[in-house]
Structure 1
Amino acid sequence: MQIDARDRLILSLLQADCRLSNAELAEKVGMSASACWRRVRTFEDEGIIKRYRAEISAEGVGFTFQALVHVHLTRHNPEHLAGFVAAVEARPEVQDCYATTGQADYYLRVLCRDIAAYNLFLEDFLFNLPAVASAQTNVVLREIKRSQAISM
């Protein structure tokens, strides 16, 4: 799909505030409401817009512990990898998971209520996965920059 300057503007505005009404969005980009609605609908159908959501403050709802976890696997066979991925996808504490090159096989961003909850996550979940050989934790002291938005 070809993305032009007006499309980039629509996407930027929706990333900044997905609660904009179609009429407000159309006015800001200089389009008719019906043409704007069709364009947004195409972005949704093409998978360019994946979802709409509210950004919640973790601390505001009681989640005060965040860590980056470097996971090393024991084996790289498809069965163990599939089991690891499925288990990680199902855990609400795991906010993000990346398969990477370098020292660790996977990097997880884990969010918990406190250090005790994180310890349970490690002992009752992560260290019980057959594919996991070891994990190294880096505790997040403070967040400097975090963005879900893609710069258009």
Structure 2
Amino acid sequence: MKLDAHDSMILELLQKDARMSLKDMAEASGLTSPTVSARLKALQEVGVVRGFGADIVPSALGQGVMFLIIRSRPSDVSAVADALAEMPLIREMAIAGGGRVIATAVFRSIAEQESVLNDIGSVPLVQEYDHYVHVETRKKEPLALVSEGAPVSMQCYYCKKVIEGTPHKIRLDGKDHYLCCPICEREYRKKYAEIKEKAASE
């Protein structure tokens, strides 16, 4: 799957203003509102658009921000990331190469800042970490570079691997689901049915 001119226009408009109405997007892109809505839904379903949210400035609420580089053995980095994800003051986190986790944390007081650092230091598999307090933001642009013809990488809904070639698309309860192969499709249908059956019995 590749982005066409209309998809890339919709994404560029959203990056500029996530609050833009479907009507305004339709006028700017030369499409109808229902078409924009359908394309936007499809982009969400394949994982290109993750969500829509307000960009709230922590400092405006009296909160500090610090950046963290946490090191562990490469074989332990996933477990370390799982432990860090449980800490509510860590707001953003990514696994990088070389057994490193890059994280952003917020704090409302020096005590909270020290608490976050103590919690990180108490994770058994963490070897060492550095922290840097945010001073000033000089640039912030949307991460994704949007262009017509850009390939869209989709993850298999079952095994979570990147789908190579044409995905197997199935429709369940009015929503499209994408799988990488017939085996994953069969297992996913089975798992989906089990979840529905369990939900119905509760």
TM-score (structure 1 length as normaliser):
0.84
User: Hey, what does 1:142 align to over in structure 2?
Assistant: 136
For the structure 1 residues 118 and 105, does the alpha-carbon distance in structure 2 shift closer, same or farther, using more than 3 Å as the test?
same
Contact 1:15–1:149 under 8 Å retained in 2: no
Q: Which has the higher contact order (CA 8 A, sep 6+)?
A: 1
**Secondary structure at the counterpart of residue 132 of structure 1:** coil
Amino acid at match of 1:20: M
**Secondary structure at the counterpart of residue 43 of structure 2:** helix
Q: CA RMSD in A?
A: 2.0
**Secondary structure at the counterpart of residue 3 of structure 1:** coil
User: Hey, what does 1:15 align to over in structure 2?
Assistant: 15
Q: Is residue 2:99 matched to residue 1:100?
A: no
Amino acid at match of 2:21: S
Amino acid at match of 1:15: Q
**Deviation sequence 1:72-93 (CA, Å, 0-9, x none):** 22x444xx44432222222232
Structure 2 unaligned regions, length at least 5: 147-202
**Secondary structure at the counterpart of residue 122 of structure 1:** helix
**Deviation sequence 1:45-79 (CA, Å, 0-9, x none):** 1111111111111112221x222212122x444xx
**Secondary structure at the counterpart of residue 91 of structure 2:** strand
Amino acid at match of 1:150: A
Amino acid at match of 1:67: M
Q: How many angstroms apart in 1 are the aligned matches of 2:21 and 2:94? A: 34
For the structure 1 residues 47 and 129, does the alpha-carbon distance in structure 2 shift closer, same or farther, using more than 3 Å as the test?
same
Map residues 1-152 of structure 1 onto 2, 5 A cutoff. 1-63=1-63, 65-73=64-72, 75-77=73-75, 80-101=76-97, 105-123=100-118, 125-152=119-146
The alignment of Structure 1 onto Structure 2 pairs a total of residues equal to 146
Q: How many angstroms apart in 2 are the aligned matches of 1:39 and 1:76? A: 39
For the structure 1 residues 144 and 40, does the alpha-carbon distance in structure 2 shift closer, same or farther, using more than 3 Å as the test?
same
Identity of matched residues, %: 22
**Deviation sequence 1:110-138 (CA, Å, 0-9, x none):** 22123331111111x11111111211122
TM-score (structure 2 length as normaliser):
0.65
Contact 1:22–1:36 under 8 Å retained in 2: yes
Q: How many angstroms apart in 1 are the aligned matches of 2:85 and 2:30? A: 41
User: Hey, what does 2:196 align to over in structure 1?
Assistant: none
Amino acid at match of 1:139: V
Structure 1 unaligned regions, length at least 5: none
Q: How many angstroms apart in 1 are the aligned matches of 2:30 and 2:79? A: 49
